[in-house]
Structure 1
Amino acid sequence: MPRIHCACALATGLALALPAGAARHVQVLRLQPGDALTLFNGEGGEFEATVTQMGRSDVQVSVGAHRAIERETAQAVHLAVVMPANDRMDWLVEKAAELGAASVQPLVSARSVLRLQGERAAKKAAHWQAVAVAACEQCGRNRVPLVHPVADLVSWLGRPPAAGAGLRLLLSLREGARTLRQLAPAGAVTLLNGPEGGLTAEEEELAIAAGFAPLTLGPRVLRAETAPLAALAALQD
């Protein structure tokens, strides 16, 4: 059954005109009146729904029973990633959403290949949020990870940790970095990962001073888009 993210209030018995993005999705799927679908708005659970009317630019549905289904991981993991180049950030956000990331913070650092600011950065963040929505529609999540606005790494490290950020871990190749088994994170986790070429020594020291513990994933050097996903997968219950 098709799953559609619907960014509006949902309630059993509601006759609803779908928002533009959700309506386009239904039209692309060529659903017809009487067809069933699942709606979720990110506030918890999902709703049965039935298409009642298909217009040229609007779609009407009848909202049915609510199902209190959650498919979240037991451990909230927040990714803070210096953006990899080209379309690799799209792939990273998509897979992070599928693997259960609670949020994604795109960052710019000294060695960044992809540098965004202003309107371009805002458009990219909105695009990545849409990528996360689509991934949740596909994988069954009813909570969409928040993609934060693009931030400068040094400025971001200077901010107080967000509520619920939990243990702060820095993916690092430095000698003495500990494994996940040694660190044994039990609650929420924030994972920081650098760009292609890694963080500079100065940036690593700033991160450690901000409370990030160096974390190793083993002897192999993983790509910038692979490392945070490998750590995220390793933290699954």
Structure 2
Amino acid sequence: MRKAPRIHVAADYEVGGDVVLPEGPARHVARVLRLGEGSPLILFDGAGREARAVLVEASRKRVVARVEAVEAGQGESPVAVHLGQAIAKGDRMDYAIQKAVELGVAAITPLYTEHGDVRLKGEREAKKLAHWQAVAASACEQCGRAVVPRVHPPRPLGEWLAARDEALRLVLHPATGGALERVPAPATAALLIGPEGGLAEPEVETALAAGFSPLSLGPRILRTETAPVVALALLQHRFGDL
């Protein structure tokens, strides 16, 4: 039996109430999935609530779902990881965000670093941020999470480091050993991933001064979009739910 598709719609769900799907989700349901009246859906609000629903209207102009049951969503990790990811070009950043969400990350901040070659300003930054948030929501639809992690506006690395207060703070650094075996399970963690050219030595020193511990992922150098996948998998295996 085909599983009901999961659709992110930020709305107040009430049993028996109708939810008019916004343009994007409506187009996806009616034109891409080609669902008709009577088809089941799972709606989630992005803040932790899910609704079992059924389509009561599915035209090219309007798509409406009727809520049949509301419940708390599942799939959130017991350790809340804030990922600081150096901004990468093109699809690499999308990949890093998508996989980080699948691996249970709680928040993501794109970072401007010394060796990073992406600089966004004004409208271009706003559009890119909206795109990244949509990538996170789409990843939640796929992986079963009901909470969409927030993608924060990009900021300089130093600002992000100064704001960190997580119980466990890790910076990837290829020249050092592991830092996971000698700490108790934290409720919160911060993970810093550098750009393709790596973090500058002063940036690493600033991270260490901000309470970050160095973490190596082995003898091979990983791409900037691969590193968060491996590091988050290790964190979830050691402290989370993998």
Any gaps of 5 or more consecutive residues in structure 2? Answer: none
Any gaps of 5 or more consecutive residues in structure 1? Answer: none
Superposed CA RMSD in Å reads 1.6
Contact 2:87–2:112 (Cα < 8 Å) also in 1: yes
Residue type of the alignment partner of 1:170: V
Aligned-pair CA distance for 1:215:
1.4
Residue type of the alignment partner of 1:116: L
Measured in 2, the distance between the counterparts of 1:69 and 1:150 equals 28
What does residue 167 of structure 2 align with? 166
Q: 2:149 aligns with which of 142, 145, 149?
A: 145
Contact 2:164–2:190 (Cα < 8 Å) also in 1: no
Measured in 2, the distance between the counterparts of 1:66 and 1:121 equals 36
What does residue 125 of structure 2 align with? 121
2:217 aligned with 1:214: no
Identity %: 49
- CA offsets, 1:5-55, max 9 Å, x none? 001211211122122222122122111111111100022231110111123
What does residue 51 of structure 1 align with? 55
Change (3 A) 1:135 1:152: same
Measured in 1, the distance between the counterparts of 2:79 and 2:131 equals 26
Aligned-pair CA distance for 1:83:
1.3
Residue type of the alignment partner of 1:200: A
Measured in 1, the distance between the counterparts of 2:155 and 2:73 equals 34
2:6 aligned with 1:3: yes
The TM-score with structure 1 as length reference comes to 0.92
Q: What is the number of equivalent residue pairs in this alignment? A: 233
Q: 2:39 aligns with which of 35, 41, 51?
A: 35
2:96 aligned with 1:95: no
The TM-score with structure 2 as length reference comes to 0.90
Residue type of the alignment partner of 1:223: R
Residue type of the alignment partner of 1:186: P
Greater displacement, 179-188 / 116-125: 179-188
Measured in 2, the distance between the counterparts of 1:153 and 1:57 equals 45
Greater displacement, 63-72 / 126-135: 63-72
2:158 aligned with 1:154: yes
Contact 2:179–2:213 (Cα < 8 Å) also in 1: no
Greater displacement, 166-175 / 58-67: 166-175
Residue type of the alignment partner of 2:85: V
Q: 1:15 aligns with which of 14, 18, 34?
A: 18
Change (3 A) 1:166 1:126: farther
Aligned-pair CA distance for 1:185:
4.3
Q: Secondary structure at the match of 1:169?
A: strand
Measured in 2, the distance between the counterparts of 1:76 and 1:229 equals 15
Give every structure 1 segment of 4 or more consecutive aligned residues whose post-TM-superposition deviation is greater than 6 Å.
Answer: none
What does residue 104 of structure 1 align with? 108
2:79 aligned with 1:75: yes
